[in-house]
Structure 1
C-alpha cells in the first residue's frame, strides 16, 4: 500500500489563490530539455519551471492581509470557496531566497529541503515544467523514453526526491474556470492519483468547506474536496530506496472529488484513482544489493535514469504494454534489477502480468487491474505535465518507500521490507531538524524515440 502525504509540502502563511498579486514579479527559472530522434540527434527546447501555487503567498487583493495563516483560512476573506477566490491573490516567487530552488548549471535544477528565509523556513517544494510563460509543457510518453540525471547523494532516509507526470491541464485550468486568473504561470491546477485534499484551491474555488488543520503539521490541513488525476511516478527515491509506479484513474484529467470518490480511509478501493499503483522497488522485489551507496547503482554519485514506454504496435497511439527501466553510471548501462521473489516471474519491468503476480504474492488489492491496468495508464500518458519535487511525509514517515511497511509487519514476509532505513528516520520533526541541508539535483532531461536518449554500453 503506497501512500503519499502532500501535507508535508507546506510553507507558513503561504497558500494558493486565484487572483494575481503584483508585489513580486514572477520569473520562471530556466531549465531547458532535449528532444531526440531515432537517429540520436537531439534538439534543445527552451523550457523553464514554475512553483506550485500551494506554496505562494496569498493575500487580500486590496492589501497585504493573509488569506491563510498557519493551517487556517481567513474567515473574513474566505467565508466560502467562491468568495475566497475573488478576494485572494497569489504573488510571484523569489525562487532561490524563499524556496531554495536554484539552477546550478544549464538544464539542472536543485531543490533544497529546508530553506531559512525572512518569513521563517520553507520545507519542500514542487515545480512544473513550462513550455512558455503561460502553458505547461505537455508530454505524450507512449512509444517514447524519458531520461534524466539525478544526484541523491544528499537525500537521506525519510525524504523523497520525486520526478513524475500528472494529467494536468495545459493552462492550469485557467480556461475552464473563470475564477482562476493565475493559471499555469503561477502553478495552478495540480492533481495526482492520491486525490490530495490539502490543495487549497480546486476548480477555481477555495477548498474552505470542511477545512481542518492537520494534527501533526502546523502549516497544513485538508478540506472537503480532493484533486484527482492519473499519475506516472518515474522516480520516487532517496539514498537508500527507489521506486517507479504507474497510477491509472477512472477519470480523465483533473477531477474534483468528494466523499468515497477521493478514496480516503476505508474507501481506498472505491475511489476514482489507484492510490497503490503497481510499484517496482528493487529492494522490495528481492534484490537488496542493487540500489544504494556503493551498490550496483551507487547513490553516492550522480547517475542517469532511463524509462521506456512500450506499446503493443510500436506506435505513439498504441496500447501501453510494458514499462522498462535502465540506469547509466560511469559510462556503463545497468539493466534494472530482476525480481527475486517466489511466485513472481524473474522480470525487470512492469506489465500487467508482473502486477497481478506481485499483488497476489504480497496479498495486496489489485485495484490497478480494476481501474484498467496498463491499457488505462497508457490512455492517460498522452497528456501529461512533468513534476519535480522534494518532500517529507507527515502521514507515514516515508516508510512505504524506504523501510518496513506496515512498520509492525514481519520483514521476512514478501512485500513488507522496502528499504534499509529505520522506520523512525522519516519522522518529519526528526528529518527536518537533522537534515535541513538535504537536497536533490535533477538535470539533463531528454525525451525521445526508444533508445535515442542514451548510448548503450
Structure 2
C-alpha cells in the first residue's frame, strides 16, 4: 500500500553516509528465539538499529547541517557523490531523542511522538541486528514467524508495522564505497514502494531533482527511489490490520528512476507490486473479527503467527500459501474466513485468493504480473526484519483503516477497510491528538511450522 515515513520534525536530524563521532552508537537489545519444535527454542542475542533517515547529519568538519527543513545544504551537497563525502551521520540516543525503549527483555516500545531537546521526533523505524555491523538475515520458506504485539494505545490513523525487506546484510557497505556507515547506522533501506524520500541511496545523496513535500516541512523526494521485495507481516492499529506480500521483478536493493519507480500513472509498470495482495479481515468481509472487544481483542496484547507453506513441505520448495493465526489468552484463533461474493471462503493468501480478490474488487492484478506467490517465495530467503510506527502524509492511512478511495462507495466490495473516520489519520490531527500513542513488540520467534506457539 502507501508508505511515506515521517522524518524527524526538526531539521538537524537527517541521513548521511560518513560516520560522525559526537554520539556513540549503542544498539538496544532485542533478543529473539529460534525454534525446532514446541518447547524447544534457542535464544539469540539480537538487537535493533535506528534507520539512518532519522539521524543527525552534519558536515564532517563541524556541526553544520547537511539538510535543513526539507532542503539540502547546497554548499555541502552540490551533487550526490560530493554530499556523501562531505556529510556524516552520528550515533543515536534512542530513548531521549526518539522514544525507543525496552520495557522488558525481548520487548521494544516505539513511541509515536517524542519531545526532545531539539523539538519533536515523529515515528521511527528500526532493523533487527545479528551483530554490531550486520542485519539479522531471515529465510522464511517452510517456516513460521511469530511475535507478540500491544496495539491498545495505537489509534486510528497510525500504523505499527512489522515487515521484511530484501535489504543487504551490511546495509550496502561493501557494495557502495561511498557508504562508510553501513548497517551499524541503519543504511540501505528499500521496500516495494520504491520510496523516493530516502535521502541517500547507493551511497549517494538523492539531491538531484529533490523537492520539499507540500504537506511535510521535513520531508521531500528526489530523482531516485530504492526498491526491493517486501513482506508485510503486520500493518495495524487497534481498529484494522492487514498482512500483504509485495514481490518485485528485481532481486535485492535496487535504485530506480523514472518509470521503474512506478509512481503516478506508471504504478503498474514499475519494478515492484506496490498494491500487493492484502488480507485485511474487515475488507475481506468479517467486520467483527478484529478490534476492541472482538474475536481478536485489540485492547489486550496478543500473538501473531505467520506461516510460509511450500508446495513440497521443504525449505527449498516453492511458496504455496501464507497462513495466519492469532493466540490470545492461551487460545489459538484461526484467521478470519473470506466472505466476499465471487471468492472462495479461505483464510490464507495464495495465487487463487489474489486472483479472485483482484477480480472481485476490480483491482489491477500486478501481483500476478510481477510473479505472484512463487516470486515472493524466491525473495523470502534473504530478508531483514523491520519494526516501525508511522503516520501517513500521503493518504492519511485510509488504505488501512477507513474507506479508500475516500470518495468510493463503501458498499462496493474492497472499498471499506475499517471503521475509522477518513480524517482521523490526517498527520496534523493525529500528531496533535495522540502524541503519547505507542506500540510494543516482543517475543520474536522463528521456527519450523507449528513450533513457535502452543496449540490448544
Common fold: TM-score over 0.5: yes
Deviation by residue 1:198-246 (Cα, 9 ceiling, x = unmatched) = 0000000000000000000000000000000000000000010000000
3-state SS, counterpart of residue 369 of structure 1: helix
3-state SS, counterpart of residue 104 of structure 1: coil
What is the distance in 1 between the residues matched to 2:76 and 2:109?
35
Counterparts in 2 of 1:20-419, with a 5 A limit?
Answer: 20-38=19-37, 40-419=39-418
What is the distance in 1 between the residues matched to 2:269 and 2:341?
30
- Residue 16 of structure 2 is aligned to residue 17 of structure 1: yes
CA RMSD of aligned residues (A): 0.6
Deviation by residue 1:279-325 (Cα, 9 ceiling, x = unmatched) = 00000000000000000000000000000000011111110000000
What is the distance in 2 between the residues matched to 1:9 and 1:298?
31
3-state SS, counterpart of residue 268 of structure 1: helix
Deviation by residue 1:309-363 (Cα, 9 ceiling, x = unmatched) = 0001111111000000000001100000000101010000000000000000000
What is the distance in 1 between the residues matched to 2:77 and 2:450?
52
> Which 5+ residue runs of structure 1 have no aligned equivalent?
none
The equivalent residue for 2:428 is: 429
What is the distance in 1 between the residues matched to 2:279 and 2:411?
18
Tell me if the contact between 2:9 and 2:217 (Cα under 8 Å) persists in the aligned partners: no
3-state SS, counterpart of residue 37 of structure 1: strand
Tell me if the contact between 1:11 and 1:55 (Cα under 8 Å) persists in the aligned partners: no
Give the Å deviation of 1:40. 3.6
Give the Å deviation of 1:66. 0.2
Tell me if the contact between 2:229 and 2:379 (Cα under 8 Å) persists in the aligned partners: yes
What is the distance in 1 between the residues matched to 2:352 and 2:39?
32
What is the distance in 2 between the residues matched to 1:91 and 1:371?
38
Tell me the number of residue pairs that the alignment of Structure 1 and Structure 2 aligns. Answer: 455
What is the distance in 1 between the residues matched to 2:8 and 2:416?
29
> Which 5+ residue runs of structure 2 have no aligned equivalent?
none
Give the Å deviation of 1:12. 1.9
What is the distance in 1 between the residues matched to 2:74 and 2:148?
45
Give the Å deviation of 1:39. 5.2
User: TM-score, normalized by length of structure 2?
Assistant: 0.99
